[in-house]
Every structure is written in structure tokens, then in C-alpha cells.
Amino acid sequence: MSALRETNFTLPGQTAFYRGKVRDVYTLSDGRLVMVASDRISAFDHILPRPIPYKGAVLNQIAAYFLRATEDVCPNWLTATPDPNVAIGERCEPFRVEMVIRGYLAGHAARTYADGGRVLCGVTMPDGMRENEAFPEPIITPTTKAEEGHDEDISREDIIAQGIVSREDYEQLERYTRALFERGTRMAAEQGLILVDTKYEFGKKDGRILLMDEIHTPDSSRYFYADGYAERLANGEKQRQLSKEFVREWLMANGFQGKDGQQMPVMPDEFVAQITERYIELFEKVTGRTFVKDPDPDPAQRIEKNIIAYLEVV
């Protein structure tokens, strides 16, 4: 299976280029952004050495599916998807925070809790909780958005006090975050899933707040299977989940958590193939649609052709 590690296009009207952890972003002279979802995969804020076939197409198509399904809840940046790996939309001025919302004690919150912490990003977590148990109500635990390196936990109060986001805008971000999570939770339940936690990124264009980037994908979200959830929780067992947490667990088992001095392990072929199938499974489970694998041996050439064809018309 071929994988798309990176792109290096020169597009009509291109004025800038930026390579993120997963996406290659092209800025056009008319203010639009062209985002190409590569097959790179990151964990603990590090890009892993091997790309994952079809991961970019899965991410892009899930994100587009949910952006269209939530545009009545919150306006977003997306205008077109001319290729399975491509999203085109409005360029926004991003807020320098990521809005993380957690419905359950899992992942980073669970690790903090197990270490004895009861306050996360200024939010107090109740005593006596079990890992993967639902919070009384979802909690918002924002992070600062780093250009490079680790995002850092931060409280609502510090975000406002430091002027990172104005109080008025931050309160709107909170309202959008809760409304989007509620919609995502309901959509997940219809597919037999539990939306455990997720993050949203927002920006501003012409004074209006827009949802940016991806939404409810396995890179930004964690899902549990609803079937058997209560029994596993009662028995203290791990939950069946659809997310890239299993990649983090594999890395931790192989001595890597992104800390200084740790050596990044190289994933074997079998594990890379397993990650691909997990991503495809999540796409099909979350959307209820069948994922179509494109057999093109040169996805970069296909992607460039489809972008240019779209830009020539629109």
C-alpha cells in the first residue's frame, strides 16, 4: 500500500506554504486555504517515522462529514473537498488555544487522576472516580496551541487574564464547544459509539468565529463502543475503543512518551497495517459509510491534479 508522507506542490495563486504535523497547508492569493491531509501520524507531539496508508483520506473525509453535519451548530471554514485527501476553505486568524472537552475520565485526564491530581486546567475532578467513568457533566480543559513541541494545559482564567483570548470570545468558544460535543455525542450514539473526548480549533474571519481544521476524527477524538461499556467499567476492564490511543499505548510499551532522551521506536509492517485497518474501521463505524481505497500508486500526483482542476473552475 502506498502512503503519502508529504506534498510539495506549486498551485495556481499560491502565496505561502506550511507543513504541520499531519497536514500540508497551501495559502492562495484569494484568501483560501488548501489543506492536504497526509498519511503522517503523530503522538506525544512527535511525528512518527512511518506514514500510515489511507490515514489522510480517512481523516479528511471524517472531518468533512462532521463539518457539514454541524454547520447549523457552529459556522466553519470548509467550502470544498475536491479530493479524498483535500479540504479547501476560508483562511482564519486562529485562536492560540485548543478547546478540549472531556465527557469521561480517560487518556490524559485519567493519567493525571491516577497520579493523584484532582485539578486539570483549573477544573476540579470529583474524588472516587474510576478510569473511563463519565464525568457528572463534560469538562472543558483547554491547552495552549504550540507552533512546535508540546501543547500546554492552561485554565480558562489564565487564558483570559493573559489576554490570549478575550472574555467575550472565550465564552463563545465554550458555548460552541459544548454544542458541538453534544451533537457529536448524539451522532456517535446513533452508530453505537460513545464520544469520550475531543478537541476543537477555532479562528476568526471578518469578526466572525469559525470552527477550523478537523472535527471528531480519530486524531482529535476518542470513541468507545457503547456495547459492553457498562460491564467493562464495572469489571475494571479496558474499553473497546476507536482512537489512536492504542498507538500511544504501543509507544509507551516500547519506551517512548515524547520525553527528552527517549528513542522513537520504529513500527513494524504488521503494526502499520493494523493502524490502517483501525482508521478505516473508525471511518465506517462513525459515518455508516463504506471506505473506498484508492489504488493509485502515486496519490500525490492524483491530489495535485484534482486540486488544480478545481481551482481552474472555482
User: What pLDDT was estimated at residue 181?
Assistant: 98
Pair 177, 201: CB distance under 8 Å: no
pTM over 0.85: yes
Q: At what angle do helices 269-287 and 245-253 cross, to 10 degrees?
A: 160
Decide if pLDDT at 22 tops 60.
yes
Q: Is the dihedral of CA 30, 11, 23, 241 positive or negative?
A: positive
Pair 26, 36: CB distance under 8 Å: yes
User: Residue 51 — very low, low, confident or very high, per pLDDT cuts 50/70/90?
Assistant: very high
AA letter at 141: T
Decide if pLDDT at 142 tops 70.
yes
Q: Which three three-digit cell numbers place residue 269?
A: 509492517
Please provide the DSSP assignment of 74-107 as one string: S-BSEEEEEETTEEEEE--EE-SEEEEEEEES-H
Determine the Cα–Cα distance for residues 117 and 113; give it in Å rounded to an integer: 5
Which phi and psi angles does 66 have, rounded to 5°? -80, -30
For range 114-119, the mean pLDDT: 97
Pair 267, 50: CB distance under 8 Å: yes
Q: What residue ranges define each of the domains in the chain, with the CATH number in brackets?
A: 14-93+268-313 (3.30.200.20), 94-242 (3.30.470.20)
User: Residue 219 — very low, low, confident or very high, per pLDDT cuts 50/70/90?
Assistant: confident
User: What pLDDT was estimated at residue 130?
Assistant: 97
